[in-house]
Structure 1
């Protein structure tokens, strides 16, 4: 924070030798551009996470502060080391006015990014300290209990909307969030660590089984056709809440399946699909730049072949169709 304030005091310029209306417009433009550049990467990241992993919305919203802080820090650092010069103007007064307007826009952008860095830094520090003290003061299952209590209370409060598809979908998403929290906390990784292989794996498997019990209520909610069925789900969740508060893993595992098949979440499926396509497209762009390949007559054809194959792999999951198209493209480009 001290460094940011020092840079702001040293680099900020507030000119007064330009028209007031132009200065105000450039101040607003600088602030708007800086804010847009800072917010765009976290916003794209958030939208991607929302599309690929809807169940992770709540945890991701808590962690969105970190990419916002990082983006603001990068913009602030760039503005703090960059000197902006206006285009040359034949008239002396024009040069002075243009320089003043450029200084106004640069100062506004620098101040805006500095404020965001300080604000997000304070919030991130407070969030980290909260988690740190919670981990030292709270019991292992306190977070799960709070998540489960909030979800059960929300379902109980809105149980008469069992016929509303959007409401049921919201309940199911909340249960998925609880299940993810169970997978994290019930594994007791803070107490065992990954170095203790057998104990860590055993607790991890038990956590997955307990999370499966939580997820089993999602189907019950989807099949509910009266408030009474919703109340039965709430009662079961409350029983689980009592077991978590008591630290009774035996009760939590009583109705758990013996084994839980590995889950491939949507994000993983998307990554497995995108990665090979991205590698081929990158190879198509970079390989022809290698001197030994660049001098070859087929360099351009190789580039387009790899790019086309990468695009085909990204668009379709049918291997037979991709193979046929690849053969056809190879005959045309690499003959």
Structure 2
């Protein structure tokens, strides 16, 4: 009787198994995934995120919803995700400012190392220093000449602590001249004022500036690259002109700490696969964006390296935000 009772219990357990397994091993993602972009729409970070997200959504079979939450040098958007449930349905796209803020902002509302975890690096865009045609600036030498003549100079950036801000400070340090920093909440509004002549110059992502340079609405003073860019070989580098400034914008995904490893690995694989798709490859090539990929661990090491690099620049220039 006892043996029969055990067999009946085993049979009952087997009968329930098909019902229990899917509930415990439900595939991720099972619903829409939210990605916060801590910049205004229209910039490279927004473009890269939407482009890659569209392909990830196709591959995953679930929608990826983009939410733009700009402000406070990206701190608002990053904090929103850092405090989100670690269920694998909230991510944030970060850029250079995420690493710079670890030195610039004394009281971050989140712990960059403990509250967030790297998922995937996506793209990198080279910077160009550009001005409007009426500024009278055509080269680094012109910037120095105007500054020495006492003419007011200003440079726009897409937010305090962003790569464009730090590039401007590096330029000032290299040239030993005063250029007033004018921060904006995103590249699009900053670029609009440079185009309108309200601000003298700006470091910006080549993908957004290229069309304006080609049509003559902007004049490229120089590329912020170590060697001439493959995307704009006709434009001299700032280094060639005596100002060794190398600057770019990169984009990558973070998740709240506590997100399961399986979800992080799955999203990483989806992003890497998406960047190999024909649609993304062509868009990146057309836009002058270098595709980056790798493991979450490699992205974590990249973040550590960038944090150290920017910390040195910030401390040398004496930049503070608080």
Larger radius of gyration: 1
Greater per-residue strand proportion? 2
TM-score when normalising by structure 1: 0.23
Higher helix share: 1
Greater relative contact order (Cα < 8 A, sep 6+): 2
TM-score, normalised via structure 2 length: 0.24
